[in-house]
């Protein structure tokens, strides 16, 4: 029930696809998706493995609710050892691919080994086969998806694939499904490319069952009502998307600008949600075409955008004069405020390219920002950049690099190293704004203290989706805390981390947590799944998953020293705005966090903690 | 009062809750591939368009059926397929100009929208009112109201 209780194991070296039953004992302890796939991964893979070697594995995984009518229940994740980070990676995506995988009868697909030549996995319910990808290797995500649907003469196939950047080893490549939904971070697409696996194409027609339909319909209806009546999930996100945050975070003085040199961006309004709905001069239409939903989502925060047809990026290129995935807040920040570019159409174009060629706009924009700082301070010059004038605010440099990075060519290939490797290469590691080699998202931890601890302790490197304390510190959800204070933040971060891991393991979207608590999730999981599922049990699953990920990272060679922030955030105070004069006070929060976690002062879970969590 | 499904693609976000509700009501399982209503995503235009049977008065499917397996439900006006009588010949799927009658290979019968006995689940499941179930004689009422308001506002402004 809810679980398909079936795994597909694909050995790319041997070219075999075999079914095996899902380990239900583990399902009871790790629920699904992020938790359950991580359990499989750590049981099967040496933590010291080179992420790009055939010995690394890659798991595509659904949650038990995936494919049901619970709101947002279409999620799937890609779990592997990240190419960018060398840490456990779990990148979550919406769209319609996860639902299709579940409908074909699979909880997860485990890829191991490496194909001799490029292949794609084709699944038609029980029929799973590896097919030659010779004709699509070298194609973009968009062309790959079109080719597969035409080749199999089936427009209802759902596809997840990598673009050219993933083939060429850009270290922050994504796996993109449904043209513009992405398992975006940590270089999961790079791992897929290293296995010569171009795409996974699925047609699923079996359906998804739940344990108790009557109770499930009641629980999901009640939970949908909670989302509809909440100001964030019922009004803000549908109307403005995550971009509703741009002006809010800028006013908070926590919008990292020009590689975190300052915390407010004078061009914030020009790249905000409000700007996306303003009619433009050329045709009177706004950037935002409409909002779009992922499978089963009653929030529908997704942006569908178009670029001004007279803009330099598309004027001569009709193939980009379309409606496609528009700017989400993190992408708008990384492509915009981080690089000092305030041209909405240039950012939208760069975002299209990120989707088309399959790479992470956050790491890309943040790495371009670091390169811009090196260029402006004379560390690198035109010879290095191939003649690109890499100054902050230069939109043409941004869009040119977006295309080069997408093809893994020229200086775009160096951007594809990510900021840590790029800045080390040119002798300035301090200019990389990253934790565990993964670039920060769009919140400056000098102005939002809890996010400093969030980033430092995130198991997949700097990330906002592991404990979004912005909800509490800025938006007042579930209750307002002072963003400038470190008091209570260790507990706040732990609580958000554990709850988030539980949401992620269920198959629902973390954005529901603006309105839902685990008290809203539990009745839905309980009605769908065998066993008894309470909010307490879900929270315990979340804490168990967090510690399991931590154990993997420790075994991979990470230590407490890696739970750190760049010196810029710890030593250079914010120069403007409400947080003026503040640095991030990580040292005041980290020891308390370790203690609350039941870890030693070196960040290692104690035996007592492991026993308590049955690890 | 007879009611009709009215679909406004401008309000549809493409979430497929209608397909989930339809498949659950008809097949007792969440399975969009067995839904009688389909949402089409014209992804490069940013359009999502739900589409299903409009319950023609002179229904081609019904007239074409050689075994009289399709009948009219007097109360709802729905054209309903009898699984008992249907022989799976698929002539109705050819006859329907709109493609809304389809064959289900798992059962060997055809499937189409039956308005759920007069209380369609798709309309109830739609989170944005892109699918509503309204007076069959006044399916244009909401659109008329919108334009009436706009016309009146224009007149007031020019007065």
DSSP string, A222-282: HHHHHHHHSIIIIIIHHHHGGGGHHHHHHHHT---BTTTTBS--TTTGGGSHHHHTSPPTT
If one counts every other C-beta atom within 10 angstroms of the C-beta of residue B137, the result is 11
Contact A206 B31 (CB under 8 A): yes
If one counts every other C-beta atom within 10 angstroms of the C-beta of residue A251, the result is 14
Query: For an interface test with A, which of B18, B23, B30 has the most A Cβ atoms less than 10 Å from its Cβ?
Result: B30
- Kindly list the residues from chain A whose CB atom is less than 8 angstroms away from the CB atom of residue B16: 96, 293, 295-296
Q: Residue A613 — pLDDT band, cuts 50, 70, 90? A: very high
C-beta contacts of A390-397 below 8 A and 24+ residues apart = A392/A258, A392/A339, A392/A340, A393/A339, A393/A340, A393/A341, A393/A342, A394/A341, A395/A341, A395/A343, A395/A346, A396/A312, A396/A346, A397/A368, A397/A372
Q: Please say if the pLDDT value at position A162 is more than 90.
A: yes
pLDDT tens-digit series, residues A234-275: 999 999 999 999 999 999 999 999 999 999 999 999 999 999
Average pLDDT over residues B109-131: 97
Contact A324 B43 (CB under 8 A): yes
Domains of chain B in sequence order: 1-52+116-159 (3.30.70), 55-112 (3.30.70.20)
If one counts every other C-beta atom within 10 angstroms of the C-beta of residue B48, the result is 24
Query: What is the pLDDT at residue A580?
Result: 98
CA distance A361 to chain B (A): 20
Q: Please say if the pLDDT value at position A312 is more than 80.
A: yes
Query: For an interface test with B, which of A125, A149, A323, A509 has the most B Cβ atoms less than 10 Å from its Cβ?
Result: A323
Per-residue burial over A573-610, b = 16 or more CB atoms within 10 Å of its CB, e = otherwise:
ebeebebeebbbbbebbbebbbeebbbeeebbbeeebb
CA distance B48 to chain A (A): 8
Distance CA B4, CA A409 (A): 57
Report the residue of chain A nearest B23, measured CA to CA: A207
Query: What is the pLDDT at residue A22?
Result: 98
DSSP string, A493-525: HHHHHHHHHHHHHHTS-GGGGGT--HHHHHHHH
- Kindly list the residues from chain A whose CB atom is less than 8 angstroms away from the CB atom of residue B31: 103, 205-208
Average pLDDT over residues A184-192: 98
Query: What is the pLDDT at residue B1?
Result: 86
For chain A, what percent of residues have pLDDT higher than 70? 100
Contact B48 A289 (CB under 8 A): no
Query: What is the pLDDT at residue A535?
Result: 98
pLDDT tens-digit series, residues A198-230: 999 999 999 999 999 999 999 999 999 999 999
Q: Residue A5 — pLDDT band, cuts 50, 70, 90? A: very high
Average pLDDT over residues A41-55: 98
Average pLDDT over residues A351-378: 98
Average pLDDT over residues A369-376: 98
Contact A99 B32 (CB under 8 A): yes
Contact A300 B128 (CB under 8 A): yes
CA distance A142 to chain B (A): 11
Which of A156, A205, A324 is facing B44, going by the closest CB pair?
A: A324
CA distance B63 to chain A (A): 30
Which of B15, B30, B48 is facing A208, going by the closest CB pair?
A: B30
Q: Residue B43 — pLDDT band, cuts 50, 70, 90? A: confident
Query: What is the pLDDT at residue A569?
Result: 98
Domains of chain A in sequence order: 6-203 (3.60.9.10), 257-432 (1.10.569.10), 449-612 (1.10.599.10)
Average pLDDT over residues A270-296: 96
Q: Please say if the pLDDT value at position A1 is more than 90.
A: no
Rounded to a whole number, what is the largest CA-CA distance in chain A? 67
Distance CA A117, CA A128 (A): 18
Query: What is the pLDDT at residue A465?
Result: 97
Q: What is the ipTM of this complex?
A: 0.96
Which of B13, B21, B45 is facing A69, going by the closest CB pair?
A: B21
Mean pLDDT for chain A overall: 98
Query: What is the pLDDT at residue A383?
Result: 97
- Kindly list the residues from chain A whose CB atom is less than 8 angstroms away from the CB atom of residue B34: 205, 207
Interface of A with B (CB under 8 A): 67-69, 96, 99, 103, 156, 178-179, 204-210, 213, 217, 224, 228, 238, 289-298, 300, 304, 306, 322-324
If one counts every other C-beta atom within 10 angstroms of the C-beta of residue A40, the result is 21
Contact A323 B127 (CB under 8 A): no
Report the residue of chain A nearest B105, measured CA to CA: A205
Average pLDDT over residues A423-437: 98
Query: What is the pLDDT at residue B159?
Result: 76
Q: Residue B158 — pLDDT band, cuts 50, 70, 90? A: confident
Average pLDDT over residues B111-138: 97
CA distance B131 to chain A (A): 14
Interface of B with A (CB under 8 A): 13-17, 20-21, 23-24, 27-34, 43-46, 48, 125, 127-128
- Whether the Cβ atoms of residue A230 and residue A514 lie closer than 8 Å to each other: yes
């Amino acid at each position: 029930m809810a679980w398909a209780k079936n795994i597909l194991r694909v050995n790319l070296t041997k070219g075999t696809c075999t079914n095996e039953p899902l380990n239900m004992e583990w399902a009871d302890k790790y629920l699904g998706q992020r938790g359950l796939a991580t359990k499989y991964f750590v049981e099967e893979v040496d933590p010291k493995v080179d992420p790009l070697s055939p010995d690394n594995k890659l798991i595509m995984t659904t949650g038990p609710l995936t494919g049901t009518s619970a709101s947002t229940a279409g999620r799937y994740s890609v779990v592997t050892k990240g190419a960018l980070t060398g840490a456990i990676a779990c990148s979550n995506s919406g769209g319609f691919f996860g639902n299709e995988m579940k409908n074909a009868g699979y909880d997860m697909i485990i890829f191991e080994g490496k194909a001799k030549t490029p292949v794609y996995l084709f699944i038609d319910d029980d029929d799973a086969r590896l097919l030659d990808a010779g004709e699509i290797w070298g194609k973009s995500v968009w062309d790959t998806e079109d080719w597969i649907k035409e080749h199999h003469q089936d427009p209802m196939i759902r596809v997840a694939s990598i673009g050219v950047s993933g083939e060429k080893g850009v270290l922050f490549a994504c796996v993109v499904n449904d043209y513009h939904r992405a398992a975006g971070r940590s270089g999961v697409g790079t791992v897929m490319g290293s296995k010569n696996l171009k795409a996974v194409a699925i047609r699923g027609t079996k359906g998804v069952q739940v344990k108790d339909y009557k109770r499930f319909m009641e629980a999901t209806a009640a939970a949908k009502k909670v989302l509809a009546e909440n100001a964030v999930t019922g009004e803000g996100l549908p109307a403005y998307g995550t971009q509703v945050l741009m002006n809010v975070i800028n006013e908070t003085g926590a919008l990292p600008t020009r590689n975190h040199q300052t915390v407010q961006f004078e061009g914030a309004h020009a790249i905000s949600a409000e700007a996306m709905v303003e009619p433009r001069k050329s045709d009177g239409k706004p950037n935002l075409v409409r909002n779009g939903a992922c499978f089963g989502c009653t929030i529908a925060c997704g942006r569908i955008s178009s670029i001004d047809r007279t803009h330099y990026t598309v004027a001569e290129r009709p193939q980009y004069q379309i409606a496609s995935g528009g700017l989400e807040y993190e992408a708008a920040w990384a492509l915009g405020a981080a690089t000092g570019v305030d041209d909405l159409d240039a950012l939208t174009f760069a975002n299209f390219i990120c989707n088309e060629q399959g790479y992470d706009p956050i790491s890309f924009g943040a790495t371009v920002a670091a390169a811009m700082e090196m260029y402006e301070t004379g560390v690198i010059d035109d010879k290095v950049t191939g003649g690109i004038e890499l100054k902050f605010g230069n939109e043409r440099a941004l869009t040119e690099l977006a295309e080069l990075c997408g093809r893994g060519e020229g200086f775009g290939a160096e951007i594809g190293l990510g900021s840590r490797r790029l800045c080390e290469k040119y002798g300035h590691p301090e200019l990389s704004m990253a934790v565990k080699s993964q670039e920060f998202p769009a919140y400056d931890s000098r102005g939002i203290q809890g996010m400093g601890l969030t980033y430092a302790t995130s198991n997949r490197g700097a990330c906002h989706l592991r404990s979004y304390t912005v909800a509490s510190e800025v938006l007042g959800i579930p209750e307002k805390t002072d963003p400038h204070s470190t008091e209570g933040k260790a507990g706040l971060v732990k609580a958000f981390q554990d709850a988030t891991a539980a949401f992620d393991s269920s198959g629902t979207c973390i954005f529901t947590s603006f309105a839902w608590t685990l008290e809203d999730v539990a009745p839905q999981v309980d009605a769908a799944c065998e066993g008894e599922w309470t909010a307490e049990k879900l929270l315990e699953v979340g804490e168990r998953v967090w510690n399991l990920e931590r154990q993997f990272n420790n075994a991979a060679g990470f230590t407490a020293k890696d739970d750190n922030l760049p010196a810029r955030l710890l030593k250079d105070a914010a120069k403007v705005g409400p947080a003026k004069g503040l640095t991030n006070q990580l040292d005041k929060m980290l020891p308390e966090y370790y203690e609350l976690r039941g870890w030693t002062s070196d960040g290692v879970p104690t035996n007592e903690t492991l026993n308590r969590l049955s690890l | 009062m007879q009611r009709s499904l009215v679909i406004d693609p401008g309000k549809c976000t493409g979430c497929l809750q209608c397909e989930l509700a339809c498949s659950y009501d008809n097949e007792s399982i969440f399975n969009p591939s067995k839904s009688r209503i389909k949402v089409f995503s014209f992804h490069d235009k940013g359009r999502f368009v739900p589409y299903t049977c409009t319950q023609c008065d002179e229904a081609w499917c019904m007239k074409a059926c050689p075994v009289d397996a399709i009948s009219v439900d007097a109360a709802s006006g729905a054209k309903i397929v009898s699984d008992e009588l249907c022989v799976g010949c698929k002539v109705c799927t050819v006859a329907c100009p709109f493609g809304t009658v389809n064959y289900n290979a798992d059962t060997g019968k055809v499937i189409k929208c039956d308005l759920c006995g007069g209380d369609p689940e798709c309309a109830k499941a739609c989170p944005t009112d892109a699918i509503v179930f309204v007076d069959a004689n006044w399916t244009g009422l909401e659109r008329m109201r919108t334009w009436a308001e706009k016309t009146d506002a224009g007149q007031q402004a020019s007065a």
